[in-house]
A and B are shown apart, each in its own frame.
Chain A
Amino acid sequence: MTIKSIIKYSFLFPIFILTISGCEDAIDIDVEPLTEQLVVDAWLTNQVGPQTIKLSMSQPYFDNTLAEGLSGAVVTVTSSSGTVFEFEETENGNYVWTPIANETIGEVGTDYGLQIRVDGQNYGSISTMNRVPSVDSITYEVRGDETFGANGVYAEFFARDPLGVGDTYWVKTFKNGVFLNKPDEISLAFDAGFSEGGQVDGQIFITPIRQSINRIADMDTEDSRDVAPWDVGDEIRVELHAINNDAFYFLTSTQQQITNGNNGIFSEPIINTRGNIFREDGEQVLGMFNVSAVSAMAVVVD
């Protein structure tokens, strides 16, 4: 839960009370015609296993389908140490680099360049694999007096941001191997805190970040607020991805823009999330290229 969402939660409560008679209705709206743009989904890690880059075109907002892949592209990633990684097209716009044995994409401190050639145009981007601290521990406890959620098992992870301002992270949590993928669950850190200028460089991650690995309940499914985030026997896996500052702001914006509609009367104007992928003439296209070093730890609740 970020500061923003804490605040929003605080507001939603009085609003909820005030609007016992108020309501939300689904309606149809007209939007401006869409100009389709290239989308590049290129989040690579130094983890073992194949790495995938997906190419597609943007789609009408209310499409409610998965994006159709863009085929026929040539996709390569080049490292500053001179290695070229060829991404081969598999299916539906997926371009995959498959390592041989335990080979990974590289080491911390390496710069990477992305090159894409599609429909006669060249696109590119660069990213640096940044340092990542280890996940030192994952603890859990049984809570009996939760205000907003169910009583039960809640977890927390510990890691220390290394000295030096400007490290940015994406904390990804997996419950029994399944990624907790709600937009509200996107957990980001700038040094050990929420954002730049937080004066928390080189410290253990602040409490709300440490506790951000607990899943956020659904409103109206069986995965509701009556169910605690974890149960005995669950595997909690926490991955700490060192991401570029660009990617940090990209994900901050992504979360903000996706969840903006939940803020009711306190919503902010919609803005476009800016990535780091450019056509050779300087025109920006959609999406992000980021290469992360990852540290991870898993525990089983007993």
Chain B
Amino acid sequence: MTSNLLKKCCWLLLLCGCTISTFAQEKFTLSGYLKDSDTGETLIGASVFIQELGTGTTSNEYGFYSISIPEGTYTIDFTYIGFSTKTETISLTENIKLDIEMGENTEDLMEVVVTSKVEDRNVSDLQMSVNKLDVSTIKKIPSLLGEVEIIRSLQLLPGVSTVGEGATGFNVRGGSIDQNLVLLDEAPVYNSSHLLGFFSVFNPDAVKDVQLYKGGIPSRFGGRLSSILDVRMKEGNNKKLSLSGGIGTIFSRLSLEAPIIKDKASFIVAARRSYIDVLAKPFLTDGLDNSILNFYDITVKTNYNINDKNRVFLSGYLGRDNFGFGDNAGFNWGNKTATVRWNHLFSDKLFSNLTLFYSNYDYQINFGGSSDNSFNWDAKIINYSAKPEFTYYISPTNVLRFGGQGIVYEFEPGNATGVSENGTTDLSLAKQYAIESAVYVENKLTFGKFETNYGFRLSYFNYTGAGNAYEYGDAPAGTRRPVTNITSFNQWESIKTYANLEPRLALKYQINKDKSLKASYMRTAQYIHLVSNTTASTPVDVWTPSTNNIKPQLADQYAIGYFQNLKDNAYEISAETYYKKMDNLLDYIIAPSPELLLNEFLEGDILAGDGRAYGLELMLKKNKGKFTGWLSYTLARTELKVEGINKDEWYPSRFDQTHNLSLTGFYQASKRLSLSANFAYISGAPVTFANGGYYQQGYYIPHNSEETRNNSRIPAYHRADVSATLEGKKNEEHRWKGRWVFSVYNLYNRRNAFSVYQRQDNNRTAIGAPVSTSAYQLSVIGSIVPAIAYNFEF
């Protein structure tokens, strides 16, 4: 199997090599970096367009561009949304290095009609199934408590949803939250939420670019089934010191960026801290008055431009949520990531980046502070990775990318000890280890009206010791499998390996200037899994590697789309449809009830299921004028089939939302005042209800005589929010720029159901009396939430 895969890879590599030689001609290369003239930040995805040739390229994730064209004199447009287009005339008689600094469009956007190439990206870009929001747009969206929120903003776009307000993470095209690879400067973030799910871990002041791939994911990304959220941090202003921040209802932010060596090195430090505990204090009495309830995060990044050919970046993130109850109970969790990156130009045409990262997610729970009575529990996932990447800019119509990645995982599924006067009880589970590696190649080619990016990723996973490998016997479908054998393995000794060849393909046919058709296919493999059986994921859910019992999750996704721009790119229309087939999805036994925490024999409680998801995503966007905004609509279905559950029939997954509609609008009322509003409508999520009950020893046990899963739906969700942003008066003499944001969340005060459940009276039932049962609806946000925030830049 493996050698067969390798043969295929070699063949593909050869094919790429042939393509290179075909295109190798006498040409010169124009290359360099595109930057913001104000801050020195590199610009990601800015367009370089050669008027004479009618072709061009875009800058990469590090702002680098390279284009090889025949000798000649060219007029070149450099464009980027929100920036004034810069046009240069170049006489290309040798290889030229040209760094371009572009200025932000200082004129009022609403009065300017910019006709730049970059504006038709919806149609012209090869990549489909991408949700991209500019940070400046995200900042205008009305939000809960007035806090700019990246992940919740993405949920206003097609194909992205959540199981409910306050739920951790997000769901992409019917995938679970662990099927999203969330990257912060290339390091994975294992829990992307603060305060359960109300806020994401990304500090908007430090974020430069956000891109969500829902399908057609290029082969340079891998490791998760459903999506890649690629978040890039700012490098830090290398021109001058700047300070920005905000004071909000629930937390405050401050970020500082400055050059270390002007134009050469800079840094950014951004921090946030919530003060909910301060606000909640009046509500806390009876020993809870010492309670801690806060979160904070710190994002730092620095970079050094060694010379024309070398640049290094160091970035780090540290975030923590803390809950403490009185003096003797506490619960906290958080992510830590560190990334080192080195950009190196082997030549004007060959760009490389080497990333080394460390990522750690852990949680800790402590009960009982005294030396003779305590319970301490923690769990972690740690990984170390090296990721070399190369981009070879062969010609404007041919770009080759290749590289690899190696990740070492260390899982600590649970360290738990209880101390009492009778000694210590250790409930800890053994650590687990694994190594994931991958190589990839992708080749982007343009020929006539067609453009393609094809490639593959070969991934290999090795579950290793030190540790025990468990073998399980058979059990009736849906029930716990018994352990039959345990074998011990040494450190790094291989227990089980998996290899997968993941082909990726993106294809575009440019019908004309304003219209295009796109199609994509991807196979993705996921080797690590979040073990979670609750409606909303909890911070204590544990990650587990694929083992000899848990197979990697696999998905094949096909998507086609039609893209059109109208009225000189003032309107964008897109329609995409996708079909996704998934294998080896995790589900859990139904008898007895599964034990997912601190269970040495967890694998015996895990079931493998099949999934399928399909849908239609429509988007209409207005980009120009005083009034801008978009309408997003998703019609979707996500179903699971697991032996032993729902009589072995397909059933809707908990992420199944038939209709998901959102309308987001911005209105620039005057130079200082902008208004925004959004409305969301989402079909009710599936839920399982018991239709019967019976008594045992006085307890009333709910029972579903039809053995169905997700047999009902909760009421539909809908909500409207509005906000107004008032810019401070412009004063050329002062650098201080203030901005007030007034927002109202849940404008018409709807109590949206997060969940609906059947429950018995919480109070004690008298012995021999009937148990009282009712159905309840839980609303997480049960009222209108007004807020004021003040933001500033200096």
Contact = CB atoms under 8 A, between A and B. Distances in A.
Interface in B517-560: 533-536, 538, 540
Given A254-B699, A274-B591, A20 B765 contact: no
Contact of A58 (B293, B422, B600, B692): B692
Contact of A24 (B323, B689, B697, B778): B778
B776 A147 contact: no
Contacts of B764: 181-182, 218, 221, 223
A35 B373 CA distance: 49
B326 A147 contact: yes
Given A13-B325, A14-B293, A267-B535, A272 B704 contact: yes
A200 interface: yes
B755 A264 contact: yes
B595 interface: yes
B779 A22 contact: yes
A66 B762 CA distance: 18
A250 B592 contact: yes
A118 B209 CA distance: 71
B693 A27 contact: no
A272 B779 contact: no
A198 B763 contact: no
Nearest to B325: A147
Nearest to B534: A266
Interface residues of B, number: 104
Nearest to B700: A258
Interface stretch (B102-110, B437-445, B708-716): B708-716
B765 A181 contact: yes
A137 to B, nearest CB: 12
A22 B325 contact: no
A207 interface: yes
Interface string B668-695: 0000000000000000000011111111
A205 to B, nearest CB: 9
Interface in A132-182: 145-148, 178-179, 181-182
Nearest to B377: A3
B782 A66 contact: no
Contacts of B792: none
A253 B593 contact: yes
Interface stretch (B225-233, B251-259, B327-335): B327-335
A197 B601 contact: yes
B21 interface: no
Given A265-B167, A270-B704, A41 B697 contact: yes
Nearest to B479: A274
Contact of A268 (B534, B711, B783): B534
Interface in B385-414: none
Interface in B308-365: 323, 325-329, 331, 365
B667 interface: no
A203 B196 CA distance: 37
Interface in B736-758: 751, 754-758
A17 B698 contact: no
A179 B688 CA distance: 32
B427 A199 contact: yes
Contacts of A10: 323, 325, 329, 331, 365
B747 to A, nearest CB: 14
Contacts of B195: 14, 18
A51 B599 CA distance: 36
B774 interface: yes
Residue among A60, A61, A186, A194 having the largest count of chain B Cβ atoms under 10 Å:
A61
B533 A206 contact: no
Contacts, number: 311
A28 interface: yes
Interface string A50-74: 0000101011111111110000000
A31 interface: yes
Contacts of A257: 593, 701-702
A243 B767 CA distance: 22
Contact of A195 (B331, B373, B595, B688): B595
B262 interface: no
A32 B708 CA distance: 10
B780 A27 contact: no
B interface SS class: loop
Contacts of A11: 196, 538
Interface stretch (B35-43, B65-73, B280-288): B280-288
Nearest to B762: A219
B702 A203 contact: no
B690 A58 contact: no
Contact of B599 (A59, A62, A197, A203): A197
Given A18-B195, A218-B763, A270 B694 contact: no
Interface in A10-42: 10-11, 13-15, 17-37, 39, 41
Contacts of B422: 204
Interface string A83-99: 00000000000000000
Interface in B415-453: 418, 420, 422, 425-427
Contacts of A39: 694-696
Contacts of B702: 61, 257-258, 270
A31 B427 contact: no
Contacts of B8: none
B90 interface: no
Given A7-B365, A13-B325, A200-B427, A23 B751 contact: yes
A196 B166 CA distance: 33
Contacts of A249: 591-593
A11 B331 CA distance: 9
Contacts of B765: 181-182
A257 B701 CA distance: 7
A13 B422 CA distance: 30
B756 A27 contact: yes
A18 B198 CA distance: 9
A220 interface: yes
Nearest to A57: B694
A129 to B, nearest CB: 17
Nearest to A245: B592
B137 interface: no
Contacts of A256: 593
Nearest to A43: B697
A59 B538 contact: no
B755 A66 contact: no
A261 interface: yes
Contact of B712 (A15, A31, A62): A31
Contacts of B323: 10, 13-14
B593 A17 contact: no
B196 A29 contact: no
B775 interface: yes
B83 interface: no
A202 B387 CA distance: 49
Contacts of B758: 29, 61-62, 261, 270
A62 B775 CA distance: 9
B597 to A, nearest CB: 6
Given A19-B780, A253-B591, A272 B703 contact: yes
B690 A31 contact: yes
A229 interface: no
Residue among A179, A252, A258, A274 having the largest count of chain B Cβ atoms under 10 Å:
A258
A39 B702 CA distance: 13
Contact of B590 (A206, A225, A260, A271): A271
30 contacts: A4-B597, A11-B196, A18-B198, A18-B780, A21-B783, A22-B779, A22-B780, A22-B782, A26-B776, A32-B704, A32-B706, A37-B705, A41-B695, A179-B767, A197-B599, A198-B598, A199-B427, A200-B425, A204-B422, A206-B425, A207-B425, A249-B592, A252-B593, A261-B757, A262-B762, A267-B757, A269-B533, A270-B702, A272-B703, A287-B696
Given A62-B775, A207-B425, 9 more contacts: A17-B283, A61-B702, A64-B773, A145-B326, A183-B760, A225-B286, A250-B592, A250-B696, A254-B699
6 residue pairs, one from A and one from B, having the closest CB atoms: A261-B759, A249-B592, A197-B600, A147-B326, A23-B782, A261-B757
